[in-house]
A and B are shown apart, each in its own frame.
Chain A
Amino acid sequence: MISAHLPVLQVILPLLSAPLCLLFRRTYPSWLVALIMSWASFAIAAILLGQVLTGEPISYLLGDWAAPWGIEYKVDVLAAFVLLLVSGIGAIIMLFAPGSIAAEIPEDRVYLFYTMYLLTFSGLLGMVITGDVFNLFVFLEISSLSTYVMISLGKSRRAMTAAFRYLVLGTVGATFYVIGVGFLYQMTGTLNMADVADKLPAVTETRTILVALGFLTVGIGLKLGLFPVHLWLPNAYTYAPSVVTAFLAATATKVAVYALLRIYFTVFDVEAIEAYPLDEALLLLGLAAIVSMSAVAIFQTDVKRLLAYSSVAQLGYMIIGISFLTITGLAAGVLHVFNHGLMKAALFMVIACVFLRIKSVKIEDMAGLGKSMPLTMAAFVLAGFSLIGIPLTVGFVSKWYLITASIEQSNWIVAALILFSSLLAVVYFWKVVEIAYFRPRNDGAAPISEAPALMLVPLWILVGANIFFGIHTDLTITSAMAAAQSLMEVGP
C-alpha cells in the first residue's frame, strides 16, 4: 500500500517533520528527526529511480483529482535522478551537521536550523517531483524562504545582509517566474506541465508566450545563479554557516537548473527554444560564466568565496550543455548537475572542518594544514581534482561528455574555452593546496588537531562517491542519457 504513495511521501515526510522540530526545541531530538527523515527520503528516491529506470514514469494524483485539474506529481528518470542527488546530499549532510553546527550556530537556535533545513529539503524535493507549474512556484517559495533564514543564522553580522540581498533578488526571481506562469495560463488555461505542452503549439507564435518565456528564463536564472544575475550567490555562500553552504551549493542551484530543463523541454520544446534564439544567448552566458568567474575565483582570499565563484563557473558548464539542444549536450548538463553536487558538497564540507579547527576560512590562515589535518586536506585535494576534471573522478566524466557534445557540433571554440576554464580551475585550486601543504604553520599559532571522526566519515563517503561514480559510470550515465532522451522527445 505504502509503495503507491512513495511520490507524495518523498515530499511530506520532511514537510511534516519540520513542525515537530519546532515543538521539540532541543538540539538532539531535532537532529534525530532530520537525520531519519533525510535517510528515509534517500531510500524513497532510490526506490523511485529503480522503478522509473525499468518501467514507465510514475504519476500521482493529489487529492484524487484527475490530472489537468488537480495537482499531479510526476516522476520520470530526470526527476528521480535529481531527487536522488538532493536526498543523498541531505542524508550525508545530516550525518555531518552536528559537529559543525555546534560551533557555528548558538545552541538555542540549533533546532531552528533543523526546522528550516527540513523545510528547504522538502521544498527542493517538491520542486523536482511536481508536474504542475504553479505548484513548482509554491515549493520554490517554501525552499527559498527557509533558505534565507538558514543563511541569516550565520555567525558573522554580514550573514544578515547577505540573506537580505538574497531575499530581495530571490523574491524578484520567484515573482518573475510566477508572472511567466501567469502569461502561460492566460494563453493555455491550464497549469499542468503536460497539458500546457499540449496546448502551447497553437499559441507559440504570440508575443504573450515570448514574454512568458523571457520572464521564466530570467526568474529561474536568478535562482540558479546564472551569470550575470548571480550577484547574491558569493555573499550568501560566504556568510552562511558552513553546513548550510555545503547543502545549498550541492542542491538549491541544481534544482533551479532542473526547473529550467522542465520549462524548456517539458513545457516548451526544442523548436520553440531555437526559434527564440535562447540557445545562443545561453551559450554566450555560459561561456562568459566559465571564463570570467573562474578568473575572479583566482583573486579571492577567502576559500568559501573562492568556491562560491567557482560554483557560478560550474553552473556555466551545465548551461552550456543545455544550450547545445542535443542529446549528448543535455546528458552532459544533467550529468554535471549530479557530479557538481557531489564535488561541491565535499569541498564545502572540508571548509566546515577547517573552520571548526582554525576558526577562519582565509586562505593564508590555512598554512600548514596539510600536516596537521592530513585526512581533511586529502579530501580537499581529491574533491578538487574532481572539480578540475582529472580522470577517474566524476568531474572528468561530465567534462568529457560536455566536450564531446561541443565537438559533435564542430564547435571547437567552445571546447577550447572549456579546457581553458579548467586550467583556470587548476590555478585557483592550486593556490589553496600550495599554502596548505607547502607553507609551514605560522609561528606561535596554536596546534591544530584533525577534524572529529563523525565529520570525517561522511566527508570521505562523499569523496568516495566522487571517485566511485568516476569509475563506475553506469548508473549516472544511463540515467542522464535516459533523461536527455525523454526531454528531447517531449513536444511535437
Chain B
Amino acid sequence: MSRHSILRVVAKFMIPFIILFGLYVQFHGDFGPGGGFQAGVIIAAGFVLYGLIFGIENARKVVPAWATRVLLAFGVLLYGGTGVASFFLGGNFLGYNVLANDPVAGQHLGILLVEAGVGITVAATMMTLFFVFAGQDHE
C-alpha cells in the first residue's frame, strides 16, 4: 500500500477519531445507546484499518501477540472480578449496590467496570481474529 498516499494520509487522520468515537461509545454507554461490545468492535476497527493500510507486521508491532492475549484474559477477569468483589462486600454475585456508599453510585461503578471488561475483551478478540486470518500467524 506504500504507493497509495491518499489512503495512508486519510487512514492516519481517521484512526485517532475512530478510537475516540469508540471510547465515547464505551463511556457514554451508561447514559445512552452503546456499551462495551460496540465500543470494543469500533476500537478494534481502528487497529484493523491500520493493519490493512500499513501491513500486518507494522500492526503487530503496535499490538503484539502477547498484548492481545493478556487483554483477552484481562477483560474477562475484570468482569468476573467485579462480581466476586461484590460478594466479598456483602452482596450477591454482580450485585453492584454494595460497591460504593450509596446504591446508585454502586450501580454506576459496577456497570462501568463490567462494560470496560467487555470492551477490552471484545477489542482484543476482534484484533486476534483479524491477525490470525490475515497473517496466518499461529498465535
Interface 0/1 of B88-129, CB less than 8 Å to A: 000111111100000000000000000000000000000000
Q: Is the CB of A22 within 8 A of B97?
A: no
- List the one stretch of B29-37, B39-47, B55-63, B65-73 in contact with chain A: B65-73
**Judging by beta carbons under 8 Å apart, are B92 and A15 in contact?**
no
B94 near A63 with CB under 8 A, answer yes
Q: Are A12 and B76 in contact (CB under 8 A)?
A: no
Q: In the assembly, what is the distance between CA of A5 and CA of B92, in Å?
A: 7
A27-62 vs B, Cβ < 8 Å mask (1 yes, 0 no): 000000000000000000000000000000000111
Known: A5-B87, A12-B80, A12-B83. A61 touches B73 (CB 8 A): no
Q: Does B19 contact A (CB under 8 A)?
A: no
Point out the residue from A15, A20, A60 that lies within 8 Å of B73, measured CB to CB: A20
In the assembled complex, which residues on chain B have CB atoms less than 8 Å from the CB atom of A61? 92
Which residues of A lie under 8 Å from residue B49 when comparing CB positions?
A: none
Given the complex of chains A and B, what is the CA–CA distance between A62 and B94 in angstroms?
6
Which B residue sits closest to A61, measured CB to CB?
Answer: B92
Chain B interface residue count, Cβ-Cβ cutoff 8 angstroms: 19
Task: Tell me whether A64 and B95 are in contact (CB under 8 A).
Answer: yes
Q: Say yes or no for A228: interface residue by CB 8 A criterion.
A: no
**B77 close to chain A: CB less than 8 A:** yes
| B-chain residues with CB within 8 Å of residue A19 when the two chains form the complex | 72-74, 76-77
Residues of B within 8 A of A12 (CB): 80, 83-84, 93
- Interface size class for chain A? 10 to 19
What separation, in Å, do the CA atoms of A257 and B36 have in the docked complex? Answer: 35
Known contacts: A19-B72, A22-B72, A23-B70. The answer to whether A8 contacts B93 by CB under 8 A is: yes
- In whole angstroms, how far apart are the Cα atoms of A20 and B69 in the complex? 11
Q: Which of A18, A20, A62 contacts B92 (CB 8 A)?
A: A62
Chain A min CB distance to B101 (Å): 16
The dominant DSSP class at the A interface is helix
Evaluate contact between A16 and B77: CB separation under 8 angstroms: yes
Chain B residues near A62: list those with CB within 8 A: 92-94
Selected from B73, B74, B80, B92, the residue in CB contact (under 8 A) with A64 is B92
Q: Within 8 Å CB of B95, what residues of A? A: 63-64
A8 partner, pick from B74, B76, B92, B96, beta carbons under 8 A: B92
CA distance A62 to B76 in the complex (A): 17
CB-CB < 8 A to B94: which residues of A? 62-63
Q: Which residues of B contact A5 (CB under 8 A)?
A: 87, 92-93
The residues of B that contact A60 with a CB separation of less than 8 Å are: 92-93
* Beta-carbon contact of A22 and B93 below 8 Å: no
User: CA separation between A275 and B80, bound complex, in Å?
Assistant: 44
Which B residues are in CB contact (< 8 Å) with A18?
Answer: 76
Q: Report the Cα distance A12→B88, complex, angstroms.
A: 14
Tell me the bound Cα distance from A238 to B136 in angstroms: 28
Docked Cα-Cα span, A22 to B125, in Å, equals 13
Residues of A within 8 A of B87 (CB): 5, 8
Among residues of B, the one whose C-beta sits closest to the C-beta of A108 is B138
A22 in contact with B83 (CB, 8 Å): no
Residues of B contacting A8 in the complex (Cβ-Cβ under 8 angstroms): 83, 87, 92-93
**Shortest CB distance B102–A (Å):** 15
Contact of A16 among B72, B76, B92, B96 (CB under 8 A): B76
21 A-B pairs with C-beta separation under 8 A: A8-B93, A12-B84, A16-B77, A16-B80, A16-B81, A19-B73, A23-B69, A23-B73, A60-B92, A60-B93, A61-B92, A62-B92, A62-B94, A63-B92, A63-B93, A63-B94, A63-B96, A64-B91, A64-B92, A64-B95, A64-B97
| Given A5-B92, A64-B97, 20 extra CB contacts under 8 A | A5-B93, A8-B93, A12-B80, A12-B84, A16-B76, A16-B81, A16-B84, A19-B72, A19-B73, A19-B77, A20-B73, A20-B77, A22-B73, A60-B93, A62-B93, A63-B93, A63-B94, A63-B95, A63-B96, A64-B91
Taking beta carbons and an 8 Å cutoff, which residues of A are in contact with B? 5, 8, 12, 15-16, 18-20, 22-23, 60-64
4 shortest A-B CB distances, which residue pairs? A19-B73, A64-B95, A63-B94, A8-B93
